[in-house]
Amino acid sequence: MSKTILLTGATDGIGLEAAKLLAKSGHRVLLHGRSKDKLASASAAVAAVANDIDVKTYCADLSTVEATESLAQEVIASNDRLDVLINNAGVLKTPETVTSEGLDIRFAVNTIAPYLLTKALLPLLGDQARVVNLSSAAQASVDLAALANATGLDDMEAYSQSKLAITMWTNGVASSLQDRSIMLVSVNPGSLLGSKMVSDAFGVQGKSLSIGAEILSRAALSPEFEQASGLYFDNDAGDFGPPHADALNITQCMAVVEAIEQTIARVKNARVKNAGS
């Protein structure tokens, strides 16, 4: 049966490759990107491999709470149902590391935006829906102060913390949604896959992006992920496996959820105050 699948960061790398694969298999893909030009090229590339289907696109910079909320509203306004959300957009190295809302861009894009999008889209996610969150083999204990406000972490430290943080909130939210038939899973798509993120950060060409696209497609659709809620799939090992120990500690996972909630609330309050002054 054809599913409706929203992929964030579908304009390049693993996300674009996964969008092509899913569309080719007959699924309705909704492509998110932050650049209108790149979205136009991505939708043409997806349509070209899938019998010129009509591909819906959404443009939003996920580095701010405000734009992420608007994206969620746009998706809700233009769809009756969503079967799969793939939170793929991510950033490691970038010239500007502090967002306009004062957050470290790695936490903003890799951790907080996917949380906000997932929560806002829950009403649209039907029975048996899936949320696939992009984790990484790079995981480091989360400094909650750095999640809440940019503190000048170096690129790799910020990235690794943001990737453990998404793994932790995935487990935390999965456990709090046990009464709903939604599956949330974290996936390390494989290390050093040949995207611009990898060439910019490590100066290597990397392995085939199809390795990442295929595991995202399996996580989105295959029965082997039906009971995977809260788990971590490590595609370097080719199996489910233990993430960093912090992501197995539900108290610590819920502390990350709480810190994200507080950060979003603070950013929104500051916006209201600024609008009033």
Ligand X SMILES: NC(=O)c1ccc[n+]([C@@H]2O[C@H](COP(=O)([O-])OP(=O)(O)OC[C@H]3O[C@@H](n4cnc5c(N)ncnc54)[C@H](OP(=O)(O)O)[C@@H]3O)[C@@H](O)[C@H]2O)c1
Q: Which of 181, 196, 262, 265 binds ligand X (CB under 6 A)?
A: 196
Q: Which stretch binds ligand X (CB under 6 A): 123-131, 193-201, 237-245, 252-260?
A: 193-201
Residue 93 as a binder of ligand X (CB under 6 A): the answer is: no
Least Cβ distance, residue 37 to ligand X (angstroms): 9
Residue 201 identity (one-letter amino acid): A
Question: Residue 84 phi/psi, 5° resolution?
Answer: -140, 135
Residue 234 as a binder of ligand X (CB under 6 A): the answer is: no
Residue 109 as a binder of ligand X (CB under 6 A): the answer is: yes
Least Cβ distance, residue 275 to ligand X (angstroms): 23
Residue closest to 216 by CA, chosen among 29, 43, 72: 29
Residue 29 as a binder of ligand X (CB under 6 A): the answer is: no
Closer residue to ligand X (CB): 183 or 209? 209
Q: Which stretch binds ligand X (CB under 6 A): 5-13, 22-30, 46-54, 264-272?
A: 5-13
Can you tell me the distance from the alpha carbon of 16 to that of 35, in angstroms, rounded to the nearest whole number?
Answer: 13
Question: Could you please report the per-residue DSSP string of 141-180?
Answer: ---HHHHHS-----HHHHHHHHHHHHHHHHHHHHHHTTTS
* Radius of gyration from C-alpha coordinates of the chain: 17
Residue 185 as a binder of ligand X (CB under 6 A): the answer is: no
Closer residue to ligand X (CB): 88 or 171? 88
Can you tell me the distance from the alpha carbon of 237 to that of 42, in angstroms, rounded to the nearest whole number?
Answer: 30
Provide the sign of the torsion angle of the four alpha carbons 250, 252, 255, 260, taken in this order: negative
Residues at the interface with ligand X (CB under 6 A): 9, 11-15, 33-35, 38, 61-63, 88-91, 109, 134, 136, 188-189, 191-193, 195-198
